[in-house]
Amino acid sequence: MIKKKLKIGIIGAMDEEIAEYIKHTQGCRQKKWHEFVFYQAKLFKQDVIIVKSGIGKVAAAMVCQKLIDEFKVSHIIFTGLAGALNVKYKIGDVVVSNDCLHHDLDARELGFSRGTVPFTDYKYFKAEENLKNLALLTKLPGNKVMAGRILTGDQFLTKSKIKKFKYLTKELKGDVVEMEGAAVAQVCVVNKIPFVVIRTISDKADGKAAQNFNEFLPQAAKNSFKVLGEIISHL
């Protein structure tokens, strides 16, 4: 039996979220599409395409579809930072997606539950089980790697806003909140591409969220890199 050749798409929203990956690549070549730069290289002996999507769901979805259509990736991993909703999580812990959900998609007036894409069966976008399980094998000194539910919306939420968004935990049972994951997950599900979202906790979505996010960004990116390395090395 011939083993299918792998080509893994790696997406991060910010320069700092992909810099650690690019630094460890071999034979890196660049290809530009509009303002997006795709880095084609070897990482942990696997073919990878690394790209910064920019912030938000639309940009992440565009880049994800481009990886599928032009670069013919076999798997997609979204990596980056998130704010903790689950009180058990601390800064530096890594959350691997069980599933992703659009927390800001609300068509309840039409009879759809919050998060449901209207007139479809799409709501919970489940990660590919093998990718998730490989990520969970990672050992991080001083931090935990756990599976959880990732909520996505086009807002950077802080404590003052969280109080107005109690449904994030009460109704949607979210563990972390961020701005791209569910968009990438939805594109992957529609295209039948195995995916997982890896989010390192950079803040607790509280009054210090912006400060913590900026201060912890470099270390959080390194933690995410370790988890991604565990996945790619064992695929």
Closest to 97 measured CA to CA, from 62, 53, 149, 49:
149
Known catalytic residue at 106 = no
C-alpha distances in angstroms, 217 versus 70, 95, 110?
30, 15, 40
Kindly name the residue from 15, 17, 70, 128 that is annotated as catalytic: 17
- Looking at residue 113, the DSSP 8-state letter turns out to be P
Q: Locate the DSSP E strands across the chain.
A: 7-12, 26-33, 36-43, 46-52, 75-84, 94-102, 125-126, 145-152, 176-178, 195-203
Residue from 20, 178, 180, 203 carrying the catalytic annotation: 203
* 171 carries an active-site annotation: no
Q: Which residues are catalytic?
A: 17, 203
